[in-house]
């Protein structure tokens, strides 16, 4: 959204004019960095306005600082047609309205009579909604000032107290819209009684996108990103050593999401998959390329690896206990420890007396380690990396040997490996320092 000039040229107006501009809904996120100012920096954890509220600190000045930043940001879109006076007035009103709500919440919080978790969650919802409302309003204003029929679908619910679920609010918002004569710009945030951030936190824009698609049943749902969904990371293997995937299925998309390479949030993809709505991933800066089409039933005609990917932000936890062998349900109690602390694993391997689990580095909580060490004879934790061969049709003789051989030739030791019966994802666990060389070696061998 920050590169809105490119969005206009490469998405909204690309190859279209007149009535052909319409019959489309755009779900927008906040401009880059805005949600970080409001909540916290997603990558570094640097605090935003929400931190002040959660720590019972004065937050009004920080919120007004964000308002000033948003109005400063508005100036960069004036050359595209944004009416600065109107846009500044909108964000000033929205911030002031949010401040009133937040003051009420903090007063209730200070009383000590309510569940603080619920109050703080409500504060996150209010703050998060501001970013999407800001970018959506600006987008509509720019389009209208260019003579294009555009309609703001503000799903943040700031002006009503209706106890609607997310699905109900979306259905109500789009009822009666004359799609043939307007472009709808919808906020990525949707207010609902269940709280969209409780389950999805910062991934809520794609959830709104998915739920709108299910509600209106489009010909196709399209996500525009800053890059193609590629066969390997071009930053690791080189732009000339990889290519757009072009076609794949939702199962493969889930495998990618499981290692952090999200084509779409898995909880957002499920409704699309269940309702047989095709999803296309396009590169905003390569508008002529059709992108990658993700469907429910696609299987590549020829057996091949579609994507080589992985992550170096994981740790391997190995639990050894001589009482494990032959004990029914031994790992049930192990899994309970992970469940109690809301820790999910992305790889699991077993032997007679040990179970190895791969989890995200960020989920390695001291409480988890203490619990495991109290229960089992020996717990070993190692910084690790995972590399994966993923595809809709990769079940071919010799693939495992070929991949293992490529890693061996590169001097990379495989610490563990595995794949499920469906064989859509072959996984290798390696040392963290071997991650980049492993991706390059596998990409070269599979090319």
| pLDDT tens figures, 279-329 | 999 999 999 999 999 999 999 999 999 999 999 999 999 999 999 998 888
Residue with tokens 């999910």: 344
Where residue 437 falls among pLDDT bands split at 50, 70, 90? very high
Chain centre distance of CA 24? 23
- Please count the other Cβ atoms lying within 10 Å of the Cβ belonging to residue 232: 23
CA atoms within 13 A on the CB side of 33: 6
Quote the DSSP letter at residue 47.
Answer: B
Sheet harboring 24-28: ordered strands across? 24-28, 183-187, 150-153
Q: How far is CA 102 from CA 59, 97, 124, 127, 399, in A?
A: 9, 9, 10, 9, 57
Residue with tokens 């919440």: 105
**Per-residue pLDDT, 119:** 92
**Residues near 246 by beta carbon (within 8 Å), at least 6 away in sequence:** 290, 291, 292, 293
Where residue 1 falls among pLDDT bands split at 50, 70, 90? confident
**Per-residue pLDDT, 123:** 94
More confident residue, 172 or 113: 172
**Per-residue pLDDT, 118:** 87
Contact between 134 and 94 (Cβ < 8 Å): yes
Closest CA to 386 of 446, 311, 307, 315: 311
Chain centre distance of CA 191? 18
Contact between 388 and 259 (Cβ < 8 Å): yes
Q: pLDDT over 70 for what percent of the chain?
A: 100
What value does the CA radius of gyration of the chain take, rounded to a whole number of Å?
24
**Per-residue pLDDT, 117:** 87
Give mean pLDDT, residues 108-123.
87
Q: H helices within 347-398, ranges in order? A: 366-375
The overall average pLDDT reported for the chain is 94
| pLDDT tens figures, 320-329 | 999 999 888 8
More confident residue, 135 or 203: 135
Q: How far is CA 64 from CA 58, 93, 137, in A?
A: 12, 11, 19
Determine the 3-state secondary structure of 280 from DSSP: strand
**Per-residue pLDDT, 331:** 87
Domain boundaries, the chain: 4-217, 307-446
Give mean pLDDT, residues 115-132.
92
| pLDDT tens figures, 405-430 | 999 999 999 999 999 988 999 999 99
Domain covering 307-446 in this structure, CATH number: 3.30.2130.10
Closest CA to 388 of 444, 298, 317, 306: 306
**Per-residue pLDDT, 10:** 95
| pLDDT tens figures, 24-64 | 999 999 999 999 999 999 888 899 999 999 999 999 999 99
Rounded Cα distance, 154 and 176, in Å: 15
């Amino acid at each position: 959204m920050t590169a809105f000039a490119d969005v206009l040229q490469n998405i909204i107006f690309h190859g279209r004019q007149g009535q052909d501009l319409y019959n489309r809904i755009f779900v927008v996120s906040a401009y880059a960095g805005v949600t970080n100012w409001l909540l916290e920096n997603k990558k570094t954890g640097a605090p935003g306005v929400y931190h002040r509220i959660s720590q019972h600190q004065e937050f009004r000045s920080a919120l007004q600082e964000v308002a000033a930043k948003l109005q400063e940001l508005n100036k960069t879109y004036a050359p595209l047609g944004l009416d600065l006076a109107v846009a500044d007035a909108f964000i000033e009103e929205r911030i002031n309205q949010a401040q009133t709500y937040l003051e009420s919440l903090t007063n209730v919080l200070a009383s000590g009579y309510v569940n603080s978790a619920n109050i703080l969650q409500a504060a996150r919802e209010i703050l998060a909604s501001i970013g999407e409302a800001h970018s959506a309003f600006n987008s509509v204003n720019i389009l209208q000032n260019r003579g294009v029929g555009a309609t703001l679908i503000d799903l943040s619910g700031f002006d009503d107290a209706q106890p609607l679920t997310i699905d109900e609010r979306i259905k109500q918002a789009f009822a009666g819209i004359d799609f043939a004569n307007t472009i709808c710009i919808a906020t990525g945030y949707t207010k609902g009684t269940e709280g969209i951030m409780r389950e999805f936190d910062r991934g809520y824009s794609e959830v709104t996108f998915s739920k709108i698609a299910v509600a209106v049943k489009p010909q196709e749902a399209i996500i525009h990103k800053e890059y193609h969904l590629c066969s390997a990371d071009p930053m690791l293997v080189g732009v000339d050593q990889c290519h757009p995937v072009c076609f794949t299925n939702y199962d493969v998309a889930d495998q990618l999401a499981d290692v952090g390479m999200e084509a779409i949030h898995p909880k957002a993809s499920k409704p699309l998959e269940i309702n047989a709505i095709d999803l296309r991933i396009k590169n905003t800066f390569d508008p002529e390329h059709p992108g990658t089409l993700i469907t429910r039933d696609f299987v590549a005609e020829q057996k091949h690896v579609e994507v080589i990917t992985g992550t170096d932000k994981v740790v391997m936890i190995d639990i050894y206990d001589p009482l494990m062998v032959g004990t029914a349900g031994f790992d049930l109690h192990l899994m309970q420890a992970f469940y109690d602390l809301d820790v999910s694993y992305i790889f699991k391997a077993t032997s007679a007396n040990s179970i190895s689990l791969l989890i995200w580095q960020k989920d390695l909580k001291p409480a988890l380690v203490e619990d495991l060490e109290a229960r089992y004879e020996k717990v070993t934790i190692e910084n690790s990396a995972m590399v994966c061969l993923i595809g809709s049709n990769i079940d071919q003789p010799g693939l495992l040997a070929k991949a293992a051989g490529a890693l061996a030739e590169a001097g990379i030791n495989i610490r563990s490996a595995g794949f499920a019966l469906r064989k859509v994802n072959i996984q290798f666990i390696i040392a963290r320092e071997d991650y980049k060389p492993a991706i390059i070696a596998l990409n070269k061998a599979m090319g």
